[in-house]
Amino acid sequence: MAMPARSQSASKAPVAAAPFLPFARPTIDEETIAGVAEVLRSGWITSGPQVKTFEARLSEYCGGRPVRVFNSGTCTMEIALRIAGVGPGHEVITTPLTWVATSNVVLETGARPVFADIDPVTRNLDLDRLEAAITPATRAVIPVDLSGLPVDRDRLYSIAKKHRLRVVEDAAQAFGSTWKGQRIGAFGDFVSFSFHANKNITTAEGGCLVLNDEREAKLAEQYRLQGVVRTGHDGMEVELVGGKFNLTDVAARIGLGQLPHLEAVTARRRELARQYFKAFATAGAGALGLGLPVADFANSNWHMFQVVLPEERLTIKRAEVMAKMQAAGIGTGVHYPAIHLFALYRRLGWKPGDFPHAEYAGRNILTLPLFPAMQDADVTRVAATLIEILVSHRKP
């Protein structure tokens, strides 16, 4: 007996949904995982030989400068400020468009953070506004390389030299970036890197500080672990107030496994960024007023690919755009709200309207997925989905 024919819809296999695409994802190879297991079996899992080796490799990367590692890329900036003698009665200038840690560390020293607005094109600290913000109380500046795009180092250090300021480079996002062929970290004053899980090179949590000489390196070691100085078998002295900021050998071993891949990671990120520019050009992003980043493929490590939504042309806000992207299986992020509008900083005297460029970016900046394991097709999907959402919610 003949079997009844199945309907066309019943004969089709279900279409699998595309996997969720986060905005960042670390890649840890099997050799590194095995190396971490060896460290765990060794019994020496806090700061030890792996930390020493990691510091040595980082120093080589930074042209032989002293490098000390820490458990975050936040305490590194605070320690740099303390080594520079920054404290109560002093001012430190920075950008309002960064992770709040950048200004919080200034408060931790007892100094006052002073903000200068951003350049709306680069989204980095506007160096003209930086110079205008300098007062007799200014002791340092903390520039931030947002998304890995370096602040103009020539102009920055010219201003710092003219006004006798220390520079603490918040290069948290710039490991692998360069300035005119020189690696960020290989020159300048203090340079702080982060190795957080979403950074180009990670230790899960952690960071490092690049210093100018061995005297500063010794001070950094004291600040890293309760101010302690050890001598001989049992000698111990405490000369200053330190913290508990040391990196573990477990974390250092992850970093040692990451470093050899830096060049390939940076190259892949740059290629994905190029794909984003092509995809947005094809989709007509310019006509929608979508703000794209500076297309710097010589200096930036492309830690993030960030767009700025054209709020004046849309009927929905950023949160709704993010929700629609998530519903489409695409993760996004916000890096960052404008610091001076947080309650803590409003209590210190800042208010809406103080830094309009940073405020506009803070309301509308959107971080899109970018990590080496992404496929080119993922970029096309992200760009097409975002443009479709914006087109569907344009003001008439």
Every domain of the chain with CATH number 3.40.640.10 lies at 30-260
Tell me if 62 sits within 8 A of 174, measured CB to CB: no
- pLDDT tens-digit profile of 257-295? 999 999 999 999 999 999 999 999 999 898 999 999 999
Please give the structure tokens belonging to residue 145. Answer: 């390389």
pLDDT score of 118: 98
Kindly indicate the confidence band of residue 8, based on its pLDDT and cuts at 50, 70 and 90.
very low
Query: In Å, how far are 119, 143, 144, 302, 378 from 97, measured between CA atoms?
Result: 10, 11, 9, 17, 28
pLDDT score of 5: 39
pLDDT score of 60: 98
Q: What is the C-alpha to C-alpha distance for residues 261 and 255, in angstroms, rounded to an integer?
A: 10
Please give the structure tokens belonging to residue 90. Answer: 């002093």
Residue 167: exposed, middle, or buried by beta-carbon count in 10 A (0-12, 13-18, 19+)? buried
Tell me if 197 sits within 8 A of 258, measured CB to CB: no
H or E stretch including 18?
none
Least trusted range by pLDDT, from 6-10, 129-133, 173-177: 6-10
- pLDDT tens-digit profile of 295-319? 999 999 999 999 999 999 999 999 9
- pLDDT tens-digit profile of 140-196? 999 999 999 999 999 999 999 999 999 999 999 999 999 999 999 999 999 999 999
Please give the structure tokens belonging to residue 60. Answer: 């080589």
Q: How many CA atoms lie within 13 A of 203 on its CB side?
A: 30
pTM attached to this predicted model? 0.94
Q: Which fold has domain 262-392?
A: Aspartate Aminotransferase, domain 1 (3.90.1150)
- pLDDT tens-digit profile of 366-382? 999 999 999 999 999 99
Kindly indicate the confidence band of residue 16, based on its pLDDT and cuts at 50, 70 and 90.
low
Model confidence at 129: pLDDT above 80 = yes
Q: Is 82 helix (H, G, I), strand (E, B) or coil?
A: helix
Query: Which residues are part of the catalytic machinery?
Result: 199
Q: Is 365 helix (H, G, I), strand (E, B) or coil?
A: strand
Every domain of the chain with CATH number 3.90.1150.10 lies at 262-392
Q: Is 198 helix (H, G, I), strand (E, B) or coil?
A: coil
Tell me if 136 sits within 8 A of 161, measured CB to CB: no
Tokens 């610091």: give the residue.
Answer: 339
Tokens 């960052």: give the residue.
Answer: 336
Mean pLDDT in the chain?
95
Q: Which fold has domain 30-260?
A: Aspartate Aminotransferase; domain 2 (3.40.640)
H or E stretch including 371?
none
